[in-house]
Chains A and B, each alone.
Chain A
Amino acid sequence: GAVVSQHPSWVICKSGTSVKIECRSLDFQATTMFWYRQFPKQSLMLMATSNEGSKATYEQGVEKDKFLINHASLTLSTLTVTSAHPEDSSFYICSARQGGGNTIYFGEGSWLTVV
C-alpha cells in the first residue's frame, strides 16, 4: 500500500541551529502534504499545508519564517526549523494526500530535541 516516509526519525540539535525534516511519498504522487506538531501527551496540531510548486499555507499562530516548508516535487516536502530553540522540541509528523480525494497517509514522525 501507499507509504509515507519521514527522515530523520530522531534528531538532536543545538540551540540556534537549523534542522531539516523530509517527508516523502514513496509510491504515489502527493500534490498536498500536511505538517503537524505534537507536544507530549497532547493532540496533533496542524502547522501548515504544503502544496507542490507553491507557497505553503500556514495555520494561525505558526511562524512561517521559523518553520520553512518547501514542496519542490510531487513526492517530497521538507520542513526546516530555523534558529531552533528548546521550546521547538516536539514530535513533527507529516501526512500526504493521495490524489484529489480524502485518502491521507501519515509518516512515522520525527522527534526533534533542541539542547
Chain B
Amino acid sequence: GDSVTQMEGPVTLSEEAFLTINCTYTATGYPSLFWYVQYPGEGLQLLLKATKADDKGSNKGFEATYRKETTSFHLEKGSVQVSDSAVYFCALSASNTGKLIFGQGTTLQVKP
C-alpha cells in the first residue's frame, strides 16, 4: 500500500544552519504531497504542498520539490531559526478523498 518514509530525528541544528529533512514515498498513481508542522502543544498546520511532478511548494522560507523520478519530497530551508523547532510530517494524499498518509515525523531542534 501507499506509504511515506522520513528521516529519523531528532535533527539538531544551530540557528542559521541549512536544513534538509528527507522524505520518500510509495504510491500508486500520482499523489499530492504535503509537509505539515506541529509546534509544541499544538495541532498540525499545513506548511506547504505540491500536487504534481516538478511542482515546488514553498512557505515561510521552507521549500520542497515533488520529484517523481526519485519519489521524493525533501524539505529544505536555507537558514533555520529557533522558532522553527517543531515536528515535521511528510504526507501524501493518493486520491481526492482528503485522507492523508503520514510519515513518522521528524523532530527539529534549533539552538541559538
State the A residues within 8 Å of B (CB). 4, 6, 32, 34, 36, 41-46, 49, 93, 95, 97, 100-102, 104, 106-109
What B residues does A95 contact at CB under 8 A?
44, 98, 100
State the B residues within 8 Å of A (CB). 32, 36, 42-46, 51, 89, 93, 96-105
A98 CB to closest chain B CB, in angstroms? 9
What A residues does B43 contact at CB under 8 A?
4, 6, 93, 106-109
User: Secondary structure of the A side of the interface?
Assistant: strand
Inter-chain contact A102/B104, CB cutoff 8 Å: no
Inter-chain contact B89/A104, CB cutoff 8 Å: no
Give A108 to B45 CA distance when docked, in angstroms.
9
B99 CB to closest chain A CB, in angstroms? 6
* Among candidates B45, B99, B105, residue contacting A106 with C-beta atoms closer than 8 Å: B45
* Among candidates B36, B44, B98, residue contacting A102 with C-beta atoms closer than 8 Å: B98
Inter-chain contact B105/A46, CB cutoff 8 Å: no
B100 CB to closest chain A CB, in angstroms? 7
A106 CB to closest chain B CB, in angstroms? 4
New A-B contacts (12) at CB < 8 Å, excluding given A46-B99, A49-B97: A6-B43, A32-B97, A42-B104, A43-B103, A44-B44, A93-B43, A93-B44, A102-B93, A104-B46, A106-B36, A108-B43, A109-B42
